[in-house]
Chain A
């Protein structure tokens, strides 16, 4: 008998075909309060993590950038200013509600000339081979059903020499920090989610999905297996978040 194809949805084991719909439910629910919750949950530090990601991207005027799972467009907004009129930034997200919030926010900031918005699944990117100088995916990879498939898709659409940057929650290396982080994630986050976004389940999923996401070394190995060269990572805030970078050889 054929073994059932399953994956994680937080701590739950679900059918692979189910996960995208469940994740969509989470983000449909939190989209309108996503930025506010990010600031509250991280104390604003997510802006520093994203700033470091942009610095390490090496993006310059004229570059083409794909921001996958770009959500409300924090990275896309910065990239749009860097690449200038000769460059292009594509903000992609599988979730329509998140993409709509991001599009409205960037348009309100007067950013539109070099920006495009695409509803796309990271596992089967609708772009030709060798299209982008840089791809970023910030706090999105852990929600993808088949991460290996997504990494291979990103490699395909990167130009040779192009970089992939994966900013994602990871594993703190200090046991004390790890315990404090667990207490914060499972006690404070759901309460904060209920009070601010009116949804504690989504923020419980956030904490659970972080725990089942591959740690720094595993993700590095996954990127190497997908075909990326010169893969390295930088731990930030004690390993609560890690930024992985790989190059298409």
Chain B
């Protein structure tokens, strides 16, 4: 542990409280998270240096620990910006494969957790009704829901249109499918070159043996 145990523990306790505060307002996410109970995901952030273990519970909370000495299902290592990219990614599996994160173990719990976080749908109504009363709380919650829903839809729409413009209209970068085809062709070419190299080596060794005879 690089920082003092007290500071590290304080940061993790604060983070756990914030995450579970948000989860408490999203019963659907809690149910999904409960399905991951018993899994242990280790996050090793290299810059800034920070390690945390995520332990979803059967009650749908997310336990955060600074130290965990038992078995770990998934360990993912990388910089803070790479983790931020994963958390905001529409396709966590692709981000894991193509991004700058290194992964050990089973990736499924991590991609599932990332999806749950990305889909976190906070229900503001209960705390607002408790604080402001039935009528005002309900109206404000409705307004907030509309605002968040509009923001999310607008964000998705903008991302889709931007993607289309960049790939199809401006042709600034090739589309993802084309790029993936290119990557697989490069990989196939690499393998073919390796095989050819091996054959040449074998032929050279055979010629050398014939020369000796």
Contact = CB atoms under 8 A, between A and B. Distances in A.
Interface of A: 45, 47-49, 51-52, 55-56, 58, 60, 234-238, 243
Nearest to B53: A55
Contacts of B10: 48
Interface of B: 4-6, 9-10, 13, 65-70
A48 B9 contact: yes
B69 A58 contact: yes
Contact of A55 (B4, B6, B66): B66
A47 B10 CA distance: 9
Nearest to B10: A48
B9 A52 contact: yes
B9 A55 contact: yes
A46 to B, nearest CB: 11
B77 to A, nearest CB: 20
A23 B6 CA distance: 29
A52 B70 contact: no
B67 A49 contact: no
Contacts of B69: 58
A236 B5 contact: yes
A48 B14 CA distance: 10
Contact of A237 (B6, B66, B68): B6
A235 B69 CA distance: 19
Contacts of A234: 5
Nearest to B4: A236
Nearest to B59: A81
B68 A52 contact: no
A55 B13 CA distance: 12
B70 A48 contact: no
B4 A48 contact: no
A140 B142 CA distance: 53
Contacts of A49: 6
